[in-house]
A = this chain, B = another copy of it.
Amino acid sequence: MTIREFQTTIEGIYLAKDQARGIPANLAWLMEEIGELARALRKGSLAEAEGEFADALAWLCTIASLAGVDLEAVAAHKYAHGCPKCGSSPCACDA
């Protein structure tokens, strides 16, 4: 599944509700999901952490959609050619 396909999938499920909520409220929900992810990684099961990773990605996609951002395009633009700072893969910053 491409990043774009996942973003489109999330738009299909949630965009109407997420648009009504607006970006600041969706950022709050993303923070809640990141908190749940941190808790699952600290003391939860692998299955719980897996679900929280999925949720965090879903909320990141939603906020990108509300901001008019193609998450796949910006991710590939910044990282497809190695570290954005040193241009190497593996990163050679401070090496």
Give A13-54 interface residues, CB cut-off 8 Å to B. 13-17, 23-24, 27, 30-31, 34, 37-38, 41-42, 46, 49-51, 53-54
State which residues 48-95 of A face B: CB under 8 Å: 49-51, 53-58, 60, 63-64, 67-69, 71-72, 74-80, 82-83, 88-91
Known A-B contacts: A13-B82, A53-B60, A57-B75. Give 14 more (CB < 8 A).
A1-B76, A3-B3, A13-B89, A14-B91, A27-B34, A41-B63, A50-B69, A50-B74, A53-B63, A53-B67, A54-B71, A54-B77, A57-B57, A57-B60
In whole angstroms, what is the CA distance A92 to B84 when docked? 41
